Structure 1
Amino acid sequence: MTVTENEILERIRAIFKENFAIEPERVTPEAHLFEELDLDSIDAVDLAIKLQEMTGRRIKPEEFKSVRTVADVVTAVESLLVEQE
């Protein structure tokens, strides 16, 4: 089952709305997680946990450290999903 970048982005938008009360229209690929969406380090951990639940795969902390934008999150999820196939 191949998931498109758009489908991943929609799921990420839902996670941001449900968990961080961030409106989906603010969650664009270019949006910076910490500067524009006001996430902090605890939110980043929560996000990593939600992505693990979404993909069924464990996210290595060192992989998630380089994530800065929503596009980076999409790429991280894509790589987790590819590992599953």
Structure 2
Amino acid sequence: MNKALIVEKINDFLVDEFEVDEEAITSDANLKETLDLDSLDFVDLVVAIESNFGVKLKGEDFVEVTTLEDFYNLIENKLS
């Protein structure tokens, strides 16, 4: 799966599942601040990633993830 498709799928479920405003979704958006995701949302996000991409994520996977771009790259790396 190419990065453009990964980005599209992630953005789609951020809008659909987390009710994030499409205009707030930029590659440099901070997951916690700009997207207003709390710790429970992160659990839901992990579940959504697992169901959409078949990738298992752990808490330590998010240590270096602060922006959406970091998140896209994490998923891309997990899929390769």
Q: Structure 2 length as normaliser, TM-score?
A: 0.88
- Percent of counterpart pairs with the same letter? 34
Q: Which runs of 4+ in 1 moved over 6 A?
A: none
Match of 1:60 among 38, 58, 62: 58
For structure 2, the 5+ residue unaligned runs are none
| Map 1:16-31 → 2, pairs under 5 A | 16-31=14-29
CA RMSD of aligned residues (A): 1.3
Q: Structure 1 length as normaliser, TM-score?
A: 0.84
For structure 1, the 5+ residue unaligned runs are none
Count how many residue pairs are aligned between Structure 1 and Structure 2.
80
Q: Which has the higher contact order (CA 8 A, sep 6+)?
A: 2
- TM-superposed CA distance for 1:53, in Å, is 1.1
Cα deviation, 1:54-79, whole Å, max 9, x if unaligned, reads: 22121122112332111111011111
